[in-house]
């Protein structure tokens, strides 16, 4: 099966893609394109999957870069390949030939570009990282490399939608304490439960940062098991582990 790569017209001037799980070599609960080196999938199979992604991005496998994601607000600048992954949740570069990649399974994969300046970025933005400022940190790091805030385009890829993201009152209180206006990203659910709009919140943070444009591809990871891995769906179905989707961008 060939790879399925979702793209955005907003990023058409750079090679990029939000890869679905289709077209990979993994089997079982990981069936498809599992690119998570931290999963319990066979490491050699994950390497095959990542090599397929690298080929699609037009780079050698060692140039498909990933970070050790820790739900932080840390964005790192990279100028070359590296062996030990930095603990961070975003990368930026102005070096052609490097593909920046992010792994997700419900969190937001966000790809950025200022094509005039030749600067790109990729961020892993779960609720905690988004709240702490990972999206803004990525934009700031891009500007340090010469990008212009008003020329940066950002696209959020497949992520869990509000309808599938049920949370408790303590979660709601965390966001309310940060900004009472965050109440707009919650909808009432059963009893004391609520539903959080993660992509809506991400778009809000991106647009408030003053960039040229921000959009979401409007794909829900939870709702489409044939195309996407989902941590929350795996938890609900009591599966032993789950695959990780990859999103990548290169100059």
Is the pTM higher than 0.95?
yes
pLDDT of residue 28: 94
- List pLDDT tens digits, range 200-243: 999 999 999 999 999 999 999 999 999 999 999 999 999 889 99
* 3-class secondary-structure state, position 40: coil
Query: Which residues, in sequence order, are bridge partners of residue 92?
Result: 77, 121
Residue 186, pLDDT above cutoff 90: yes
Percent over 90 (pLDDT), the chain: 96
CATH 3.60.140.10 describes domain 5-161+197-250: yes
Helix (H) or strand (E) holding 231: helix 231-236
Task: Give the DSSP letter string of 158-198.
Answer: SB--GGG-EE-HHHHHHHHHH-GGGGGGEEE-STT-EEE-H
Q: Where are the domains of the chain?
A: 5-161+197-250
Helix (H) or strand (E) holding 43: helix 43-57
Average pLDDT of span 185-210: 97
Average pLDDT of span 169-182: 97
């Amino acid at each position: 099966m060939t790879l399925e790569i979702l793209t955005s017209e907003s990023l058409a001037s750079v090679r990029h893609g939000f890869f679905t799980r289709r077209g990979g070599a993994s089997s079982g609960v990981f069936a498809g394109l599992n690119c998570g080196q931290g999963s319990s999938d066979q490491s050699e199979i994950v390497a095959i999957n990542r090599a397929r992604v690298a080929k699609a991005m037009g780079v050698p496998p060692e140039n498909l870069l990933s970070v050790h994601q820790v739900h932080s607000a840390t964005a790192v600048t990279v100028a070359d390949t590296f062996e030990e992954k930095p603990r961070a949740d975003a990368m930026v570069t102005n070096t052609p030939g490097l593909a920046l990649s992010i792994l997700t399974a419900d969190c937001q994969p966000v790809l950025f570009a200022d094509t005039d300046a030749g600067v790109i970025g990729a961020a892993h933005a779960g609720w905690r990282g988004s709240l702490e400022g990972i999206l803004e940190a990525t934009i700031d790091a891009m500007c340090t490399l010469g990008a212009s805030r008003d020329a940066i385009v950002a696209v959020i890829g497949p992520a869990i939608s509000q309808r599938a993201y049920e949370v408790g009152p303590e979660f709601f209180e965390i966001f309310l304490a940060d900004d009472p206006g965050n109440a707009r990203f919650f909808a009432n659910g059963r009893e004391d439960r609520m539903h959080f709009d993660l992509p809506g919140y991400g778009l809000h943070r991106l647009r408030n940062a003053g960039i040229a444009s921000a959009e979401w591809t409007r794909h829900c990871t939870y709702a489409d098991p044939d195309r996407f891995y989902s941590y929350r769906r795996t938890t609900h179905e009591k599966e032993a582990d789950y695959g990780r989707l990859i999103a990548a961008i290169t100059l």
